[in-house]
Amino acid sequence: MDIDLRKLRYFVAVAEELHFGRAAERLYITQPVLSRQIRALEQDLGTTLFARNRRSTELTPTGQVLLEEARPLLASATALTRRLTRAAHGAPAFTIAFMPGTTVTAAVRALTARHPGLTVNLMRTTWDDQTDVLHDGRADAGLVRMPVEQRGLRLVPLYTEPRVAVVSTEHRLAGKTTIKVADLAGEPMLQHPDAVPEWRDLPGRLTGHPATPRPVFHSVEEKLEHVAACHGVIVLPLSVAAYYTRPDVTHVPVDDIPPNQVCLAWSRTRRSPLVQEFADIAADHFTTGPRAPHPV
């Protein structure tokens, strides 16, 4: 049985919105057309994907499984299309993604020295999209900051660095030599909790603060503006905190959390020798002492 990728995209939109009207708007089609496509997909698969009534739309257990499997499948299809488009233009190109505070210059120079005709593009990523660009083909490889969802990826550990708490210069913790992560228990964290699992798992975190929706910021610069305004704190790798120096914020070492791990990552679907070659170059450049383990 062949699965229609267009129907699969329609399914993912409905599964993420859990509302046929909003999904139809997102897809720029009418709701009746979307409903017909979903019914057709259910007929193709011989199963029900959504439990619907007048008040709600919910995924069935089968629908939940399909959603989990559909996202990487669609990302792989998008990545293939991007690679074919680049190949059709003739000139070889290789795109490397990197997170704030990481530097790929020396590794890129080593790669281009081996391949003088190769065009290397660089792409800055964020916590929100550092793995998305690998799955959907926008980047061939990327320096990522752990933790990330490792499914569908190959990872080569490169190096670690300390993490620090970034606070306003007016904050009670400013000027401390070191702090404990428990000192941040009552502080609003202006980043995704999964980025700081040590804080996320603290008992009684945010005690004394009203329950409010976590704001969503898409750059370090945005987060620092709110830190400076005493709206909360963030935890960053030391190199990132040092790079974004400004007079109204400061950083304090947190001595009881592990360092941040930086890895080179790429999609498991990529079989290009160039990707593996760059992985070897990056491992040689970034690691000291025993070589980092090969892909995990």
CA dist., res. 86 & res. 80, Å (int)? 10
Q: Which two tokens stand for residue 247?
A: 């007079």
The pairs formed by 271-275 with CB atoms below 8 angstroms and a separation of 24 or more are 272/140, 274/94, 274/115, 274/118, 274/140, 275/140, 275/141
Alpha helices in 46-115 (DSSP H): 61-88, 105-114
Residue among 101, 94, 91, 189 nearest 144 (CA): 101
Residue among 74, 75, 63, 52 nearest 15 (CA): 63
Query: What's the pLDDT score for residue 69?
Result: 85
**Do 32 and 175 fall into the same domain?**
no
**Do 110 and 244 fall into the same domain?**
no
**Do 244 and 177 fall into the same domain?**
yes
Per-residue pLDDT of the chain (296 residues; tens, 9 = 90+): 677 888 888 898 999 999 998 999 988 888 888 899 899 888 888 899 999 888 889 999 999 999 888 887 888 777 777 667 666 666 568 999 999 889 899 999 999 999 988 889 999 998 888 999 998 888 999 999 998 989 889 999 999 999 999 999 999 999 999 999 999 998 999 988 888 888 888 887 754 444 455 667 878 899 999 999 999 999 999 999 998 889 999 999 999 999 999 999 999 888 889 999 999 999 998 864 334 444 44
Boundary (domain end) residue, out of 50, 76, 102 = 76
CA dist., res. 35 & res. 61, Å (int)? 19
**Do 168 and 243 fall into the same domain?**
yes
Query: What's the pLDDT score for residue 176?
Result: 93
Query: What's the pLDDT score for residue 174?
Result: 94
**Do 278 and 200 fall into the same domain?**
no
CA quadruple 212, 216, 220, 226: dihedral positive or negative? Answer: negative
Residue among 171, 147, 138, 125 nearest 263 (CA): 147
Question: Tell me, what CATH number does 17's domain have?
Answer: 1.10.10.10
Q: Residue 220 belongs to what domain range?
A: 163-253
CA quadruple 279, 282, 287, 288: dihedral positive or negative? Answer: positive
**Do 14 and 153 fall into the same domain?**
no
Domain contains 81: no
8 Å CB contact between 97 and 130: yes
**Overall number of domains in the chain:** 3
CA dist., res. 211 & res. 232, Å (int)? 14
Residue 156's Cβ-side half-sphere holds a number of Cα atoms within 13 Å equal to 24
Query: What's the pLDDT score for residue 213?
Result: 57
Domain contains 268: yes
